[in-house]
């Protein structure tokens, strides 16, 4: 990876790495081989959720837990993170295997969102939590300022869970049926068991989370709640 590309990216990120290896690791997709960014992605996912949760907690002191949860979800869901990655032109610097590169991986939402989380994890390792908070709140400043506690839709999983709780039924149980495709382009099939339905709905998606949401949406439709 050319150093000029990484220099430009660091300028866009607003953070200069002390150890550039952290950034290089964050930009290495699993299609490149056994050394990739998935561990950093795991770390970054937890960090961005915490940073946004704290920011919302401080900005919206009157908002209750449910609204705070939905606001956070709207800001850190895959689509929001992929849009952020596009603003920062992250796709240009992601290292992909030849197959993923030829299939347009640099433009794929899931790859962009995962790389964005990995970069956040890399910043944490390199500069600590304060650096992460500074970067994330700067990147999402307009979104944090404009999110409305009263106009945030609930995702299907949350809606389904709350519906079952109101009706005093068992909570839904999700189970991965299968994972299809190569490691760099997987499709998940997830089944959800809901008391009262004759058949367990099944959802598919590019991630387990997406598949679970699709299954929950199907369950809501069968329950006549969508």
Which residue among the candidates 41, 45, 210, 212 is catalytic per the annotation? 45
Q: Which of 189, 199, 191, 203 is nearest to 222 (CA)?
A: 199
CA pseudo-torsion sign 197, 202, 205, 209: positive
128 CB-contact burial (10 Å; exposed 0-12 / middle 13-18 / buried 19+) = exposed
Other residues' Cβ atoms within 10 Å of the Cβ of residue 119: 29
Which residue among the candidates 41, 114, 117, 218 is catalytic per the annotation? 117
Q: Which of 75, 77, 74, 89 is nearest to 119 (CA)?
A: 89
| Lookup: tokens for 101 | 């590169």
Asked if residue 90 lies in contact with residue 82, where contact means CB atoms within 8 angstroms, the answer is no
Element at 187 (helix H, strand E): strand 187-193
Element at 205 (helix H, strand E): strand 202-205
Q: Is 45 a catalytic residue?
A: yes
Q: Is 117 a catalytic residue?
A: yes
Q: Which residues are tagged catalytic?
A: 45, 117
């Amino acid at each position: 990876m050319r150093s000029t590309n990484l220099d430009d990216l660091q300028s866009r990120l607003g953070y200069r790495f002390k150890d550039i290896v952290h950034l290089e690791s964050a930009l290495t997709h699993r299609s490149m081989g056994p050394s990739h960014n998935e561990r950093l992605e795991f770390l970054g996912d937890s960090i961005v959720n915490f940073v946004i949760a704290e920011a919302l907690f401080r900005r919206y002191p009157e908002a209750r837990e449910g609204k705070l949860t939905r606001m956070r979800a709207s800001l850190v869901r895959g689509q929001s993170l992929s849009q952020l990655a596009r603003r920062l032109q992250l796709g240009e610097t992601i290292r992909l295997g030849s197959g993923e590169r030829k299939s347009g991986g640099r433009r794929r939402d899931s790859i962009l969102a995962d790389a964005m989380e990995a970069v956040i994890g890399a910043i944490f390792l390199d500069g600590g939590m304060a650096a992460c908070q500074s970067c994330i709140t700067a990147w999402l400043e307009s979104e944090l300022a404009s999110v409305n506690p009263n106009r945030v839709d609930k995702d299907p999983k949350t809606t389904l869970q709350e519906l079952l709780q109101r009706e005093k039924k068992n909570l839904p149980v999700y189970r991965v049926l299968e994972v299809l495709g190569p490691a760099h382009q997987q499709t998940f099939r997830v089944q959800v068991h809901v008391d009262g339905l004759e058949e367990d709905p099944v959802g598919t998606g590019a991630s387990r989370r997406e598949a679970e949401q699709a299954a929950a949406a199907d369950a809501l439709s069968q329950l006549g709640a969508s």
